[in-house]
């Protein structure tokens, strides 16, 4: 049998999983763990005949879970005369249970779109999921080895915290990070037990148990400053569909908060804000807009300048005016260094406030 090679380059995970699926599809009677580890691409390079293969066996156990998550019907069959003997179990994938039904097929255009969808995520922060998608496509006969176009679009999550938090969830360990809450002068260290990562209204959120208060909290990933550090030991995670819980909570907040705006006709603000989910117009030039986070909405509305007037609620209106005044101060010369600018600064600040009041 092949011995462990110290010079063989590592086999990519998607290639190893693909080789395993093909091997288990090709056998009617199934393969034992030893046969798989000693012959299948991705395992055989590290297999040691008569040696210690414990780490390789653990890899195989994880790969089985990954394959089953894809919906692949991987079976474990007892060898006749040796029921319950894990070492003699035989593994296979029944072709009839795995192949697409005879009445389902993909057109060339559909195959192209499936391929492009997987390619789009290939270099992104969700690369593990894209590899699983590519494996699924290849194993049912969809060609994915050659790019359909001369380039692959790249989609990335903007939040650097996403990958390490996703790893923490996969490994079942805790995490710690500095979190800057609106209104705080500095970020504060949070130690959490991650429960779910969800995307709501285009932004990623972490549902987690904050160990500092012993209660669940939802954190906006864009407010995490600095690196995320992962714990080393598994943590107890109470059962529950926390992704669904987090989304329901965020939806409830979104539904309860409504901004009343006046937008300039034909402006960028009217077009972009008017197409938001749940946006309604009670009259010409007026817009009702649901929101989840007041500070994020205030940042966005201030960016539209004179195209938007906030009618209510009052705390949102105040937050937008505060941002406009801050912008004026940041672009005004030092009043002590240049006296004439002092009057201009005051006039400009007042003008910005007046503009917010009257436009």
- Lowest mean pLDDT: which of 59-73, 245-259, 266-280? 59-73
Q: What does DSSP assign to residue 350?
A: H
Mean pLDDT to the nearest integer, 120-127: 45
Calculate the average pLDDT of the chain: 76
Residue 357: strand, helix, or coil: helix
By C-alpha distance, which of 16, 253, 226 is closest to 132? 16
HSE-up of residue 139 (Cα within 13 Å, Cβ side): 28
pLDDT number for residue 257: 93
Tell me: pLDDT of 317 over 90: yes
Cβ neighbours for 291, distance < 8 A, ≥ 6 positions apart: 254, 257, 258, 259, 297
The alpha-carbon radius of gyration of the chain (Å, integer) is: 28
Q: Where are the domains of the chain?
A: 13-98, 101-156, 162-240, 257-358
249 vs 66: which has the higher pLDDT: 249
- Lowest mean pLDDT: which of 85-94, 314-323, 334-343? 334-343
Question: Following DSSP, what letter does each residue of 91-143 receive, concatenated?
Answer: EE--HHHHSPPTT----HHHHHHHHHHHHHTTTSTTHHHHHHHHHHHHHTT--
Mean pLDDT to the nearest integer, 344-352: 35
Cα(285)–Cα(290) distance, integer angstroms: 17
**Domain 162-240, what fold?**
SH3 type barrels. (2.30.30)
Question: pLDDT band for position 68 (50/70/90)?
Answer: confident
- Lowest mean pLDDT: which of 65-74, 129-138, 245-254, 270-279? 129-138
Cα(58)–Cα(64) distance, integer angstroms: 10
Q: How many residues does the chain have?
A: 359
Mean pLDDT to the nearest integer, 155-162: 66
Hey, which of 36-45, 105-114, 251-260 has the most confident mean pLDDT? 251-260
Strand order in the sheet with 286-290: 286-290, 258-263, 308-312
By C-alpha distance, which of 157, 292, 304, 317 is closest to 221? 157
pLDDT over 90, % of the chain: 23
Which tokens sit at 280? 């309604």
Q: Are 287 and 279 in contact (CB under 8 A)?
A: yes
Could you confirm whether domain 13-98 is CATH 1.10.10?
Answer: yes
34 vs 158: which has the higher pLDDT: 34
Tell me: pLDDT of 350 over 60: no
């Amino acid at each position: 049998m092949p011995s462990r090679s110290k010079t063989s380059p590592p086999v990519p995970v998607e290639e190893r999983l693909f080789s395993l699926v093909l091997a288990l599809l090709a056998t009617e009677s199934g393969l034992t763990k030893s046969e798989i580890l000693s012959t299948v691409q991705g395992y055989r390079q590290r297999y040691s005949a008569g040696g210690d293969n414990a780490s390789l066996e653990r890899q195989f156990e994880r790969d089985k879970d990954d394959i089953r998550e894809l919906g692949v019907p991987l079976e474990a069959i007892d060898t006749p005369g040796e029921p319950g003997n894990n070492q003699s179990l035989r593994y296979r994938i029944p072709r009839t249970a795995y192949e697409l039904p005879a009445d389902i097929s993909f057109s060339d255009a559909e195959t192209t779109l499936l391929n492009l969808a997987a390619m789009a995520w290939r270099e992104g922060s969700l690369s593990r999921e894209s590899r699983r998608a590519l494996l699924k496509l290849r194993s049912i006969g969809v060609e994915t080895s050659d790019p359909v176009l001369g380039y692959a679009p790249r989609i990335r999550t903007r939040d650097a915290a996403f990958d390490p938090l996703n790893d923490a969830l996969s490994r079942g360990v805790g995490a710690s990070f500095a979190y800057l809450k609106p209104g705080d002068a500095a970020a504060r260290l949070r130690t959490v037990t991650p429960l779910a990562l969800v995307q709501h209204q285009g932004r990623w959120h972490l549902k987690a148990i904050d160990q500092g208060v012993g209660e669940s909290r939802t954190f906006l990933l864009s407010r995490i400053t600095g690196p995320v550090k992962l714990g080393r030991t598994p943590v107890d995670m109470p059962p529950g569909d926390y992704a669904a819980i987090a989304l329901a909570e965020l939806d409830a907040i979104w539904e309860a908060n409504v901004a009343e705006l006046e937008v300039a006709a034909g402006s960028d603000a009217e077009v972009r804000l008017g197409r938001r989910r749940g946006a309604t117009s009670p009259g010409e030039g007026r817009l009702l807009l649901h929101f989840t986070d007041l500070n994020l909405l205030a940042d966005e509305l201030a960016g539209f300048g004179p195209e938007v007037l906030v009618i209510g609620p009052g705390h949102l209106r105040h937050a937008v005016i505060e941002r406009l005044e801050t912008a004026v101060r940041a672009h005004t010369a030092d009043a002590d260094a240049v006296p004439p600018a002092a009057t201009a600064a005051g006039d400009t600040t007042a003008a910005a406030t007046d503009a917010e009041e009257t436009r």
